[in-house]
Each structure stands twice: as structure tokens, then as C-alpha cells.
């Protein structure tokens, strides 16, 4: 099976902008509990990537924060999540862009030439320009369909739990390939959707959050 042609259950959630975001410690800890059965059943160890910027005083140019290798464990989670309100941690000096979970890790997937059993990404719609948001954040969860029925069942349960945790205004599902052929290349890979390709062109915060702003045909779950 090629990397690109693996089939997935793809879940997308757009959360209530008034809800605490998933990169906060108390929210992420609940997500971890929902995801643990999936991560533990993956064919290799999970790893996390997080893109965040240092927003401290000084130069107006923000620099990316280097977290080093981030594993799926307590020490790994502590590296990138933001502390809950009222705790020390200095998260106010960071700008959160996105985080993604690969199970197994992206290096294992590349070595084996096989897409992950599980992929999960969260993106921040707040670009700090003071605009009114109709949703935030964006969450993408992909569960490989060629795994066991138990694995895909856990995936659906994790998606349902995640939608509740995030107070999702939009919660939709579809089946699709990891990416699509385009000549000798492939495009629209799942791991790019938080950044590009998920939404139809044009502004997406002028009206209440709706599946109609998403590319493709989706079903509510």
C-alpha cells in the first residue's frame, strides 16, 4: 500500500470560540484520556510536533520555539501545552499556531513508506488582529480504515469525546484517501488540511460556523 492511497475516516471539528482551546493543560489532559487507547494500539510510538512563536518584548519579529522531540507521555505533553489559568508557566508570551500528533511518528511513517494509523492536528484561527471569530480552534482527526474494527470504533469514540470537550459548533465526517494523485505528485494531504485545503476560498468568519464553509461533502456525526 502506498503512502498516499491509504483510506481514512476523517473527522473535522470547529470549536466554540468561547471555549477553552485544546492546547490548554486542563483541556489537553481530557483529550489525552480519550486518545490513549488509539495511540497505544498504533503500530509504533506516537510523536508530537508543535509550532509556536515567542511573542516576548523586543524585536517585532517572532521566532519559532524549539521544543525538541516530543513524545506521547507526561513529559512530552508538558513541553508544549499551555498551563491552565492561575498557574505559573508564562504562556502569555507565546503564540500558538498548530500542533499535530502522528502515531506512529512521522519518521517511522517515512521509513516504512506508510501513512500513520492515527493523525490528529489542531490549528489556531486567532491571528491576533482582533477580529471576531465564529469558531476556534480547527481540529482534524484521521483514523486508518484498514485497521481492526476495534481500532476504528475507538476512533469514532475519540472523535465524539473530542467534539464534546471542544464544545464543537461543527462536527463532521467523511471517508477519503491520505492524499490525491496529481500527475507524478500528490496533493491535498490530510496533514496539510489545518493549514490549507480544508476551507472554501473566501472569508470564513463573517457568518456562524457551518459545514458549508468546508470543501467537499461531509456528514454530521
pLDDT value at 146 more than 60: yes
Contact 141, 156 (CB under 8 A): no
Q: Write out the three cell numbers for 68.
A: 525538541
pLDDT for res 88:
52
- The residues spanned by each domain of the chain are 7-220
Let me know if 101 is exposed, middle or buried by CB neighbors in 10 A (0-12, 13-18, 19+).
Answer: buried
Residue 113 to residues 4, 49, 109, 183, Cα–Cα distance (Å): 9, 19, 6, 19
Residue 88's CB: how many other CB atoms inside 10 A?
6
pLDDT tens readout for residues 54-113: 876 655 677 899 999 999 999 999 999 999 865 555 446 788 999 999 999 999 999 999
pLDDT for res 176:
97
181 vs 88 pLDDT, higher one: 181
Q: Write out the three cell numbers for 86.
A: 492561575
Rounded Cα distance, 198 and 190, in Å: 9
Contact 190, 141 (CB under 8 A): no
84 vs 171 pLDDT, higher one: 171
Q: Write out the three cell numbers for 160.
A: 465524539
Task: Report the DSSP beta bridge partners of residue 6.
Answer: none
pLDDT tens readout for residues 12-43: 999 999 999 999 999 999 999 999 999 999 99
Amino acid at each position: 500500500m502506498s503512502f498516499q492511497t491509504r483510506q481514512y475516516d476523517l473527522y473535522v471539528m470547529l470549536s466554540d470560540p468561547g471555549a477553552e482551546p485544546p492546547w490548554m493543560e486542563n483541556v489537553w489532559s481530557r483529550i489525552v484520556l480519550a486518545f490513549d487507547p488509539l495511540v497505544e494500539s498504533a503500530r509504533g510510538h506516537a510523536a508530537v510536533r508543535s509550532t509556536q512563536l515567542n511573542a516576548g518584548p523586543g524585536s517585532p519579529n517572532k521566532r519559532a520555539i524549539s521544543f525538541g522531540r516530543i513524545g506521547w507521555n507526561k513529559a512530552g505533553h508538558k513541553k508544549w501545552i499551555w498551563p491552565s489559568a492561575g498557574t505559573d508557566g508564562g504562556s502569555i508570551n507565546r503564540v500558538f499556531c498548530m500542533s499535530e500528533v502522528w502515531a506512529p511518528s512521522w519518521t517511522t511513517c517515512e521509513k516504512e513508506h506508510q501513512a500513520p494509523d492515527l493523525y490528529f492536528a489542531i490549528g489556531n484561527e486567532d491571528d491576533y488582529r482582533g477580529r471576531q471569530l465564529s469558531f476556534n480552534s480547527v481540529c482534524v482527526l484521521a483514523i486508518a480504515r484498514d485497521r481492526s474494527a476495534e481500532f476504528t470504533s475507538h476512533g469514532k469514540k475519540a472523535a465524539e469525546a473530542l467534539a464534546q470537550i471542544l464544545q464543537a459548533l461543527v462536527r463532521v465526517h467523511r471517508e477519503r484517501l491520505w492524499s490525491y494523485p496529481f500527475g507524478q505528485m500528490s496533493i491535498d494531504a490530510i496533514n496539510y488540511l489545518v493549514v490549507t485545503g480544508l476551507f472554501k476560498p473566501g472569508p470564513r468568519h463573517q457568518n456562524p460556523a457551518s459545514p458549508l464553509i468546508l470543501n467537499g461533502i461531509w456528514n454530521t456525526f
